[in-house]
Structure 1
């Protein structure tokens, strides 16, 4: 099994991003987009679940969450938040085809080594007619190539070289904590979208651009940023 870059960082990660699990964070939006569980099977697979920050909100919607992650350290904390967690590579999920009526992925396209392969495997285990929800950083507007700390004040973006470099990178400046600690892959928008569009058994339903508070982005958002920060994608497996 592949090396897990997040091993040794679980406690830091959970404390740093704990706000994501709040109803006003990404967890609340994820639960809303997933909707109610399938009447005959409430199981929902969370691929790349990390420490399980989204579990409570999804469970409150009626789903029974199954968490999968490559990092045993992350799963150490996730195990306290749901009944079943499994250590596995997203590219080789240990489930039969069509097993889950719902699957979610949150903030993982910068972490996995082969995102298109992970999406293909998710589609394999998704039941025909089942729902897939993805939440994550906006590939075109968030990354080491685009410093955004002073964007609200300056009302401009300062683009640095690096968009299109999809190799694993570490940010030595410390501006992006995850980039600095474990590294990340900055996919292009085309690579990200084509990971879903290339799946013949999957139909995209919606794509939303979001601000830093996971709300629909507006040209003049409340925090003053001039371009989106996050995105949300929903899709269904064809019957």
Structure 2
């Protein structure tokens, strides 16, 4: 049975990460909306897989999309439903949707929360209509997680590579506000990208790096960060 890790943590999650829903400033919702662009008025459906408490609903809807959220956590959906009544409880690895039935799929910050990210991307590819789009936004697999210690990055310009870097069995569930509550799955960048590249119906369009403020990453940052923090992937389903 798949574990709904965020049950019992939804109120904490929503209050802690409320700024992610900022559609105008540096929130991930605003970046997601920009990556999506305006909806097709004739086909505006957008499936938000792993929607959590629905922090991204508003910014996506502002682009003209009719958003439907899916998450495994009933506790998360309790809050998401207050933002959008079109939600359903389902496993991201077994979506209750027909093949080729959805024009747009979005996912945010889910690859650290699922045991089989490849299966989740495979399901997204299955339900996408020919020519449909998949946009994924999340923490950078190569630079955020148990592989690296970035606590001294800004203050002292120091990033430490953890022993066992690249070993996906490496876990630090006790560290950080999220991992200490729900744990974390750590993927290498190659495994992360392979989840998309292994789907014959998907064509990778772009892979973009962003800083902590959801601005495009530049090698000479002004905030003291030595490495990018977020990563976005856009893929299209074969026509």
TM bucket (normalised to shorter chain) is over 0.9
The residue aligned with 1:192 is: 192
**Equivalences, count:** 237
Write the distance in 2 (CA, Å) between the matches of 1:100 and 1:43: 7
| Residue 82 (structure 1) shift | 1.2
- In structure 1, list runs of 5 or more residues that go unmatched: none
Given the two structures, how large is their TM-score scaled by the length of structure 2?
0.95
Task: Say if 1:163 and 1:186, in contact at 8 Å, map to a contact too.
Answer: no
Answering whether residue 65 of structure 2 is matched by residue 63 of structure 1, we say yes
Residue by residue over 1:133-185, the C-alpha shift from the partner in whole angstroms, topping out at 9 and shown as x without a partner, is 0000000100123111211222231111243333483432x4x2111100000
Q: 1:50 aligns to what?
A: 52
Corresponding residue for residue 93 of structure 2? 91
Q: Distance in 2 between matches of 1:171 and 1:184?
A: 6
Aligned residue runs from structure 1 range 1-239, under 5 A: 2-23=2-23, 24=25, 25-167=27-169, 169-172=171-174, 174=175, 176-239=176-239
- Say whether the 8 Å CA contact 2:41–2:64 is kept in structure 1: no
Q: Secondary structure at the match of 2:161?
A: coil
Q: CA RMSD, aligned part only? A: 1.3
Segments of structure 2 that go 5 or more residues without pairing to the other structure are: none
TM-score, scaled to structure 1? 0.95
Misfit runs of 4+, over 6 Å: none
